[in-house]
């Protein structure tokens, strides 16, 4: 495609995203400095339509971009524009008050939904790529205790256990032994080291140790990357006033496997954009997905109409992913 037709396509996409109305040749000439006559613009629009980049929704209307047109628009963006200093500070300030991993991801999904005015999805980091930061045992009663696992990504897992009656001294010794075996190690490494500590426990603490180690091994072996946080569902009203047009999208977004599929190809190296028919989920082929990886092999992104502000959305997704990744990497 020559530069002039690409310029016309960019103008059509920009105006349609802004106005939500089909774009005519006169409006393009009046609003954009294209440097050519209205007749030339009409010829370019006819060529773009013939090549499948734009379409006419009904007779005597202007033109709107097709999925193919949006794809070319996105592919020719060049580099994703950086956020302003004020926007970057706002992200950092919003995340800096988070208390733990759950709070970080809840803040992230709210931030991403508000910044893009789209439905936001954030995947939990994969435990297998983190390390154990600390294991804590908290006595709740003489026969019940709380087992707490804290990882380097800020994830906190808790499990209440029924245990044999034990003295506080035995509980303290077991806590020390657990951290000596697990702290600073990956889940796999910790899982290999934990059973051996049972051999060193005194006979009176061994029943408690077996119960706690079994529960901790189960927690270390759990896969958290299937956990998702989603927010911004009210923004689906942007699809239009007809609720029936939103129902399939809402139902699809309630399925966890769908969310994992949507975000599955994103990497931390850049921003992935899937437009309309490119989406593998049929119910979401009227939408676009913009996603990026962050941190420990996890992803985040947004789902919105194909008529979205791609440059701004891509910039927001990339920036939030980078900040969350850095935030979780902090000791």
| pLDDT attached to residue 201 | 84
| pLDDT attached to residue 265 | 65
pTM, full prediction = 0.72
Cβ-in-10-Å burial (0-12, 13-18, 19+) of 125 comes to buried
| pLDDT attached to residue 224 | 45
Q: What is the pLDDT of residues 154-191, one digit of tens each?
A: 778 889 999 887 777 788 889 999 999 999 988 878 88
Which CATH number is 130-220's, of 2.60.40.420, 3.30.390.60, 3.40.630.30, 3.40.50.300?
A: 3.30.390.60
| pLDDT attached to residue 127 | 62
Cβ-in-10-Å burial (0-12, 13-18, 19+) of 72 comes to buried
Q: Residue 150 is encoded by which pair of tokens?
A: 């804290």
The reply to whether CATH 3.30.70.100 applies to domain 85-126+225-329 is: no
* Residue 54 β-bridge partners: 65
**pLDDT: which is higher, 253 or 223:** 253
| pLDDT attached to residue 62 | 87
Domains 3-75 and 130-220 share a fold: no
* Average pLDDT score over the chain: 85
The reply to whether CATH 3.30.565.10 applies to domain 3-75 is: no
CB-CB contact of 159 with 220 (8 Å): no
**pLDDT: which is higher, 53 or 128:** 53
| Every domain of the chain and the residues it spans | 3-75, 85-126+225-329, 130-220
| pLDDT attached to residue 306 | 92
Report whether pLDDT(199) > 60. yes
DSSP character at residue 234: G
């Amino acid at each position: 495609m020559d530069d002039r037709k690409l310029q016309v396509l960019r103008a059509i996409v920009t105006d349609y995203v802004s106005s939500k109305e089909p774009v005519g040749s006169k409006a393009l000439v009046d609003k954009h400095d294209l440097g050519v006559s209205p007749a030339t613009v009409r010829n370019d629009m006819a060529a773009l339509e013939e090549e499948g980049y734009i379409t006419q929704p009904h007779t005597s209307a202007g033109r709107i971009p097709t999925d193919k047109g949006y794809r070319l628009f996105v592919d020719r963006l060049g580099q994703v524009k950086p956020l302003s200093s004020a926007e970057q500070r706002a992200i950092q300030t919003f995340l800096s008050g988070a208390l733990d991993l759950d709070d970080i991801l809840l803040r992230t999904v709210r931030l991403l939904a508000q910044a893009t005015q789209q439905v936001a999805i954030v995947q939990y980091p994969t435990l297998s790529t983190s390390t154990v930061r600390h294991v804590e045992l908290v006595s709740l009663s003489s026969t019940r205790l709380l087992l707490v696992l804290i990882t380097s990504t800020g994830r906190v897992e808790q499990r209440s256990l029924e245990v044999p009656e034990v003295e506080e001294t035995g509980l303290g010794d077991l806590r020390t032994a657990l951290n000596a075996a697990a702290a600073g190690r990956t889940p796999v490494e910790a899982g290999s080291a934990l059973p051996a500590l049972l051999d060193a426990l005194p006979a009176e603490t061994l029943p408690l140790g077996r119960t706690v180690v079994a529960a901790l091994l189960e927690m270390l072996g759990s896969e958290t990357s299937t956990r998702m946080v989603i927010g911004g569902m009210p923004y689906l009203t942007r699809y239009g006033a007809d609720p029936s047009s939103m129902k399939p999208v809402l139902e699809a977004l309630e399925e966890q496997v769908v969310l994992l599929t949507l975000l599955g190809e994103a990497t931390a190296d850049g921003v992935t954009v899937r437009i309309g028919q490119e989406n593998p989920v049929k119910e979401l082929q009227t939408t676009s997905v913009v996603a990026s990886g962050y941190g420990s092999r996890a992803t985040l992104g947004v789902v919105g109409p194909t008529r979205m502000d791609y440059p701004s959305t891509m910039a927001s997704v990339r920036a939030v992913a980078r900040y969350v990744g850095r935030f979780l990497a902090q000791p």
